[in-house]
Chain A
Amino acid sequence: METEMGFSRFALFLFTIALLSSPVLSDLVLSKVDRRIYLTSQIVRYTATLRVENEGSELVSEVLLAFPELQAKNLAYLTVSVNEGKGKQKVSTDDLPIEVVSPKNMPPAVSFYSVTLPKGLAPGDSLTLDVMAVFTHALQPFPEKITQADIQLVVFQDSAYYLSPYAVKVQSLSVKLPEARIESYTKLENTKVHGSEIKYGPHEDLPAFSYSPIGIHFESNQPFSNAQEVEREIEISHWGNVQITEHYKLIHGGAQSKGEFSRLDFQARPNVRGASAIRYLVATLPPRAHSVYYRDEIGNISTSHLWSDSKKTELLIEPRYPMFGGWRTAFTIGYGLPLQDFLFQSEGKRFLNITLSSPMVELVIDKLIVKVVLPEGSKDISVSTPFPVKQWQETKISHLDIDGRPVVVLEKTNVVPEHNKYFQVYYKFNKLSMLREPLMLISGFFFLFVACIVYTRADISISKSSASYLAKQQWEEVQAAIQQVESIINRCLATHDKLEASLRDLSRTGDVQACKAARKTADGLLKDLSKELKPLLAFLQSSPSASQILPKVEDLVAKEKELQERVMTKHSTVVDAYERKSAGKDIENRVALQQQKITALKQEVDDLMEYIDEI
């Protein structure tokens, strides 16, 4: 602590030298300044109410705000608005435009921001400005290294007087601390402590660039969750989904952990052993978020919880291990959102209206990269952001893309939750382009099948007169003929079955006439079939390539013929016997021998058919 204070004194010395030599800028005077600084979390929030009076004789349209350079480099967010109400009925208008300026003849180590007033401030007039500023990395842990059992102490430095290029008539400062425990603070006259609040002032009639450094050393066990880099990818699919993927590289930005970490101690007394550890992070996702996941490079992280209602979806994620000072981790969360909640149309253009920054609560992001992946075929892309960001365009090649999807990349450093505002990406997109990829797939398969069909149907042999080609063609003809022979034989066999069936009917009904008629039709059919067989057999006999199979085919035909005859004889025998009213046993004895032969022949025919099939 001694060194800290020593440093502060040295800084004061430098400042005093610098400030004494500086000129008074203009005729503006701040008649009243109320500053409040909130140190309740790792993000320092600062509000100031300035009563500005024009005591000169000219119209003034700009007001300068000054911050010491040390603070300015941590300044993440700054807005100024005109407060038109009186007392507590504050009516803030829109934010005023601000730009960084560096006027001449100003003391060094001070940064200036010029606020353009909506209408000039006439001589003698006055107005009230509300200034809101957010600083990151403004709390320095001291001591810098702590063990698991230690509490985290931080130092905050600022000036007791409002640093301004204008003279200030009345001013006061109040600093709100997280807990009642204050290690030490700079005591000036008019310093009061109320619980966890320290008040400086009121101070009266101070010249321009008055500076009186103060330091506050206090306990802050808020987790210093600091994302060194967040990459956010918003991918729009016109099939109805906005897919968001966020990659985090997280570090605990508080006091470094030293010594050993005992999970047991941490679990037994988490508020004492590891009070400043990051145990979890909370993300507030939009309502109707779905398919939420939380993972890192080695797989799903099982410690997360999700609640959802109609207004929001709340995701609580725990890192794989509680994070102590200086520890790092990396993870990815992702979720899908319904398209109609975020994509709108106006004046022939579509626009995406979505929040820019990470949904994590109280997270400081050193570098935020937002990538908006638009569907393939989007044109006329323009972006509108609520504050200046670095932007450029890329293309992303994904599945089935031809020329890639246009990607709008936005980059912003030093991001705080206040930056989580809506931004818009305008683009033109023809709905028919949606069909591009499915059609591509369909046509791809279609052409594949067409190619297969063409390949199997087309005759693509080079030489039409070569011996092998001719042999192949002949063989195909022979095969076709054999197939025909087989089908005829099958029909013959079916006819035999019909005859057998008629015999069965006979034994049941005793209708001899019907049975005879069946034999007649079968006879005619079989004759027709044998006629059909003749040309086929003749062809096979003439074809040289059928020589191998011909004996078998002939054999088959011969056997079938014999079978035919046997079946016919059997049929007529049975019918005759019936007509003569023979006993069932007699008939059976008579046909038994024939039946045996028929079965054997049938077996042979089957075997032959099988053999031919195999060829």
Chain B
Amino acid sequence: MFKVAVTLVVSAGLAVCCAMMAVLIALVASSPTKGWSGRSLSLLDPTYASKYIPIIASVSEHQPPTWPSYFMDINVLAFLVPAGIIACFSPLSDASSFVVLYIVTSVYFSGVMVRLMLVLAPAACILSGIALSQAFDVLARSIKFQLPGFPTNSEVDAGDSNPITVEAKNNAPKTDKTGEPSKDRPSRKNKKKGKEQAERPSVKGKPEKKRLLVLPMGASILALLLLVLLSAFYVVHSVWAAAEAYSAPSIVLTSYSHDGLHVFDDFREAYAWLSHNTDVDHKVASWWDYGYQTTAMANRTVIVDNNTWNNTHIATVGTAMSSPEKAAWEIFNSLDVKYVLVVFGGLVGYPSDDINKFLWMVRIGGGVFPHIKEPDYLRDGQYRIDSEATPTMLNCLMYKLSYYRFVETGGKGFDRVRQTEIGKKYFKLTHFEEVSIHNSPLDGSDIQAETSKKQDSGKVEEIKIKI
């Protein structure tokens, strides 16, 4: 009776579990990406995001890293890691094979996305540690062997300090293992023992190999010093990288010139202006990169921000930026936008401005609104803003807002980021008005951003933030 009951319960439980699993599998299978998010899928297939979800590919953190970025981030570890992998194979244990698998997968993931360099970092640290420790081990042992007062015969254990052995060394070489060092007090015992156990098999098993590993005295001392020096320089590099690449705020830019440090605080200048001099209810449209900053620092409602879940909204703004002025005005009017913020760095050579991000506006916009076609903006497969640029490009809102009155700044209209003269120099804004340009008081070494404002009369004003 009891057995029947047990069977019943077990089979019922199994049935329920199976049913739930089936539902789960069906749910996963029914989603087009099999339950994987776009970011995860692009890890498995590095080309996935650029083919299907341009918004993921547009984030610079999701780009594959360049070789210099590896060197910048992990520096000397890049050379120590292979040595560490070799060290893991002699001998190969469970732990060391895990470490090898860890480094291999993390190298792959970091190769797909720059931001996954974070995954690589701990693995690289572990393996470099192993490599360094092995190197120190070999070098220190070589020195120890050749110190005066130690048995010249390499077969005798180096740690020998037994009085009888010392006394006996003049007579004949010993072959047994009396050379076991006398025990220390229990407090130091654990550490010591681990080392001994590691050493013992090598001493016992292959004395020949040991003899091979002994390097000349001078060379080992030099190598030891060089390794210490290398590690010390690595600390210096790490502190510098942590300060420059990971701690520097991208909102306040600095530059060093012959007369000292210059601070470019133009982003905050523009945000402060929006915060104090526009109506609280006015909405600001900008590319989504500036969304959270505008919300927090300018205290204004934005159309799109750094939350990229809603692709359609971002595509709408991208479409407006890539449309001619009138169409763009209609889009912004329907979104109740009063100001458009544009960042332009062509005056001073600030490369992460909106013109350089423009290809993503076109791609993301075109992904949702098919009337935006990327080939319309391309000449020979490239985005160009010089005289070779396509008419669509020269008439789109982004071009117009960025280069409005640009020619008045230096005569020729030379863009220092694109290293070229702009295609269309003299034009008027019909639906937008410039509200303000903010830029640092430095001739030719500042960045530009712009904001635009729309008036009730059907005109939109533009704020340019020149940095």
Chain A 584-609 interface residues, beta-carbon cutoff 8 Å to B: 584-585, 587-588, 591-592, 595-596, 599, 602, 606, 609
The distance in angstroms between the C-alpha atoms of A301 and B269, with both chains bound, is 9
The distance in angstroms between the C-alpha atoms of A301 and B252, with both chains bound, is 11
Q: What residues of chain A lie closer than 8 Å to B438, measured between beta carbons?
A: 263, 321
Q: How far is the CB of A200 from chain B (nearest CB, A)?
A: 41
Tell me whether B437 and A263 are in contact (CB under 8 A).
Answer: yes
Tell me whether A329 and B276 are in contact (CB under 8 A).
Answer: yes
Q: How far is the CB of B411 from chain A (nearest CB, A)?
A: 12
Q: How far is the CB of A56 from chain B (nearest CB, A)?
A: 59
Tell me whether B268 and A298 are in contact (CB under 8 A).
Answer: yes
**Chain B 441-467 against A: per-residue CB contact (8 Å), 1 yes, 0 no?**
100000000000000000001101010
Tell me whether A592 and B276 are in contact (CB under 8 A).
Answer: no
Among the listed stretches B78-86, B151-159, B168-176, B333-341, which one makes contact with chain A, having 4 or more residues with CB under 8 Å of it?
B168-176
Tell me whether B434 and A596 are in contact (CB under 8 A).
Answer: no
Secondary structure class of chain B's binding surface, majority of residues: mixed
Tell me, yes or no, whether A530 is within 8 Å of chain B by CB. Answer: no
Q: What residues of chain B lie closer than 8 Å to A263, measured between beta carbons?
A: 436-439, 464, 466
Q: What residues of chain B lie closer than 8 Å to A587, measured between beta carbons?
A: 164
Q: Which of A303, A500, A596 contacts B178 (CB 8 A)?
A: A596
Tell me, yes or no, whether B419 is within 8 Å of chain A by CB. Answer: no
The distance in angstroms between the C-alpha atoms of A263 and B438, with both chains bound, is 5
Tell me whether A320 and B273 are in contact (CB under 8 A).
Answer: yes
Tell me whether A321 and B164 are in contact (CB under 8 A).
Answer: no
Question: Which residue of chain A has the shortest Cβ distance to B186 in the bound complex?
Answer: A609
Q: What residues of chain B lie closer than 8 Å to A328, measured between beta carbons?
A: 276-277
Tell me, yes or no, whether B265 is within 8 Å of chain A by CB. Answer: yes
The distance in angstroms between the C-alpha atoms of A602 and B263, with both chains bound, is 69
Q: Which of B252, B436, B439 contacts A260 (CB 8 A)?
A: B436
Tell me whether A321 and B269 are in contact (CB under 8 A).
Answer: yes
Tell me whether B164 and A327 are in contact (CB under 8 A).
Answer: no
The distance in angstroms between the C-alpha atoms of A302 and B261, with both chains bound, is 11
Tell me whether A599 and B180 are in contact (CB under 8 A).
Answer: yes
The distance in angstroms between the C-alpha atoms of A267 and B252, with both chains bound, is 21
Question: Which residue of chain A has the shortest Cβ distance to B249 in the bound complex?
Answer: A299
The distance in angstroms between the C-alpha atoms of A609 and B183, with both chains bound, is 14
Interface residues on B, range: 35 or more
Tell me, yes or no, whether A503 is within 8 Å of chain B by CB. Answer: yes
Tell me whether A588 and B163 are in contact (CB under 8 A).
Answer: no
Tell me whether A585 and B171 are in contact (CB under 8 A).
Answer: yes
Whether A320 contacts B265 in the complex (CB less than 8 A), given A260-B433, A260-B435, A507-B163, comes out as: yes
Q: Which of A321, A585, A595, A599 contacts B436 (CB 8 A)?
A: A321
Tell me whether A606 and B183 are in contact (CB under 8 A).
Answer: yes
Tell me whether A606 and B189 are in contact (CB under 8 A).
Answer: yes
**Chain B 176-193 against A: per-residue CB contact (8 Å), 1 yes, 0 no?**
101010110110011000
Tell me whether B168 and A320 are in contact (CB under 8 A).
Answer: no
Q: Which of B164, B185, B268, B409 contacts A299 (CB 8 A)?
A: B268
Whether A296 contacts B272 in the complex (CB less than 8 A), given A264-B408, A507-B164, comes out as: yes
Question: Which residue of chain B has the shortest Cβ distance to A489 in the bound complex?
Answer: B186
Q: What residues of chain B lie closer than 8 Å to A456, measured between beta carbons?
A: none
Tell me whether A320 and B439 are in contact (CB under 8 A).
Answer: no
Q: How far is the CB of B199 from chain A (nearest CB, A)?
A: 15
Q: What residues of chain A lie closer than 8 Å to B168, measured between beta carbons?
A: 584-585, 588
Whether A264 contacts B461 in the complex (CB less than 8 A), given A320-B268, A329-B276, A595-B178, comes out as: no
The distance in angstroms between the C-alpha atoms of A321 and B435, with both chains bound, is 13
The distance in angstroms between the C-alpha atoms of A610 and B191, with both chains bound, is 13
Q: How far is the CB of B353 from chain A (nearest CB, A)?
A: 16
Tell me, yes or no, whether B259 is within 8 Å of chain A by CB. Answer: no
The distance in angstroms between the C-alpha atoms of A609 and B180, with both chains bound, is 20
Tell me whether B180 and A298 are in contact (CB under 8 A).
Answer: no
Question: Which residue of chain A has the shortest Cβ distance to B439 in the bound complex?
Answer: A263
Chain B 245-269 interface residues, beta-carbon cutoff 8 Å to A: 252, 263, 265, 268-269
Q: How far is the CB of A126 from chain B (nearest CB, A)?
A: 55
Tell me, yes or no, whether B297 is within 8 Å of chain A by CB. Answer: yes
6 cross-chain CB contacts under 8 A: A263-B439, A329-B272, A588-B167, A595-B178, A596-B178, A610-B190
The 10 closest A-B pairs by CB, nearest first: A504-B163, A263-B437, A261-B436, A260-B434, A320-B272, A302-B263, A320-B269, A328-B276, A298-B297, A263-B439
Instruction: Known A-B contacts: A262-B434, A584-B167, A592-B176. Give 20 more (CB < 8 A).
Output: A260-B434, A261-B435, A263-B436, A263-B437, A264-B405, A264-B466, A298-B268, A303-B265, A320-B268, A321-B269, A328-B277, A504-B163, A507-B164, A587-B164, A588-B168, A595-B178, A596-B176, A596-B178, A602-B183, A609-B186
Residues of A at the B interface (CB closer than 8 Å) are: 259-264, 267, 296, 298-299, 301-303, 320-321, 327-330, 490, 497, 500, 503-504, 507, 584-585, 587-588, 591-592, 595-596, 599, 602, 606, 609-610
